[in-house]
Amino acid sequence: MRLAKFIAGLILFAPMAARAQHFDGAKAYEYTREFAGIGPRWVTSQGHTKAENYLRAHFQHDQLEQDTFMADTPIGPVNLRNFIVRFPGKKPGVIVLGTHYETNYPLRNINFVGANDGAATTGLLMAIGDKLRAQTAGGKQLDGYSVWLVFFDGEEAFQTWSQSDSTYGSRHLAAKWGRDGTLGKVKAFILTDMIGDKDLDIQRESNSTGWLVDLVRQSAHKYGYDRYFFQTEEPVEDDHLPFVKRGVPSVDIIDLDYGPNNSYHHTAQDTLDKVSAKSLTIDGDVILETIRLINQR
């Protein structure tokens, strides 16, 4: 009888333990709601300034670096700013998680808030940051590599997407880190883009590093998320490419199938109702598990 009760207790506890291990997608969604609520965040707008202030306030008690630089763009010289938040680890080396936070400049005359395109992954990384902050409270260190969150400015083109008119923040930072030796410390770069979509369908991005893609796949499989990952494959030009070109192992976790025939992408229909806490939970689970697997390599 005692053994039966003990086994029954284990059976009842198991799903509770599994639930307790899931990432807090609801928190990520709340941050997404607040960030998208700022409105359009195109560079030089008041919304862009508000977005910067929002990030600055959220990470004010963390190791926050504001990486400000001047970019030559088709509309002239523009001040841009990346935000880098560092959480120290015990192992020498760094895992970088990235997203862009601004909205599309050519769409400045429509109410394009980029709920999925920029806001959702900003909210996702903020919630991951909350978890890392708790793990490093009181001067503690993460058990593995340091984890840095990077919020890139200027991912979107100012006129027409090209190698010279796009990914300003990531091109600047990859070059800067190449010069000062930081890139040599980066064990992996995980880029997130447009993965708050309720109808989650993350493509395998073919410019990404093979072994890192495999770790993402393993992480998705652990949680039973296989159907959301890598059913199709295509190359994508995104903020990971400046790092790929410099030999940094990188993966772009991206969903480019947004709405029927991708009809929500870069339109005023990219709104909060298209984003879900469930998708953000899936994203967070997989990213945190991928970090764990990278630390085991």
What are φ and ψ of residue 181, in 5° steps?
90, 0
Region of 85 (left: φ > 0; alpha: ψ -120 to 50; beta: rest) is beta
CA distance 42 to 50: 11
pLDDT in tens, 244-268: 999 999 999 999 999 999 999 999 9
Beta strands 76-87; 63-73: pairing state: antiparallel
Query: In the chain, pLDDT over 70 holds for what percent of residues?
Result: 93
CA distance 162 to 241: 13
Domains of the chain, CATH where assigned: 23-296 (3.40.630.10)
Query: Does 6 score more than 80 pLDDT?
Result: no
Rounded to an integer, the average pLDDT of 51-67 is 99
Reported as a pLDDT band with limits 50, 70 and 90, residue 17 is very low
Beta strands 76-87; 186-193: pairing state: unpaired
Rounded to an integer, the average pLDDT of 77-84 is 99
Rounded to an integer, the average pLDDT of 168-196 is 99
What pLDDT sits at residue 11? 39
Reported as a pLDDT band with limits 50, 70 and 90, residue 21 is confident
The number of residues in the chain equals 297
What pLDDT sits at residue 4? 40
Q: What is the mean pLDDT of the chain?
A: 94
What pLDDT sits at residue 2? 40
Query: Does 5 score more than 50 pLDDT?
Result: no
